Amino acid sequence: VGPGDTSPDEGVVADLPLIDEKAVEQLTEGLISHYLPDLQRSKSALQELTQNQVVLLETLEQEISKFKECNSILDIDMLFSEAKYYHNKLVNIRNDMMMLHEKTSKLKVSGINI
């Protein structure tokens, strides 16, 4: 074992001063008292932000449902327009059939057999 074979950690524990537990406790309390108010403010700001996001999401959901209702109303309007179109077609067919019935009745009265 030569002079370069000694561990770099050798004798470090002996070189460290004794740690004063009271000093560590005071330093810890000082550190906490320094950062805790900022952390608490950040926490409350984040909670408020989260609550605002929840309100915003609920509002967006309501607006989306309004748009869906509008689309449903447009679909209903389209259905009524189609119903009116087909009703008019049926009325025209009915009128044509009545006219044809009248003509055939007149032809029968005239003595022409169909």
Kindly report, residue by residue over 7-46, the tens digit of the pLDDT: 655 555 555 567 788 989 999 999 999 999 999 999 999 9
* CB half-sphere exposure, 3, CA atoms < 13 A: 0
What percent of the chain has pLDDT above 90?
58
* CB half-sphere exposure, 76, CA atoms < 13 A: 6
Q: How far is residue 90's CA from residue 94's CA, in Å, rounded to a whole number?
A: 6
Contacts of 107 (CB under 8 A, 6+ apart): 114
Q: How far is residue 90's CA from residue 108's CA, in Å, rounded to a whole number?
A: 27
Residue type present at position 110: S
Q: Report pLDDT for 113.
A: 59
* CB half-sphere exposure, 53, CA atoms < 13 A: 6
Sign for the CA dihedral angle at 81, 82, 85, 91 comes to negative
Q: Report pLDDT for 49.
A: 96
Task: Calculate the average pLDDT of the chain.
Answer: 86
Instruction: Flag whether pLDDT at 78 surpasses 60.
Output: yes
Instruction: Flag whether pLDDT at 112 surpasses 60.
Output: yes
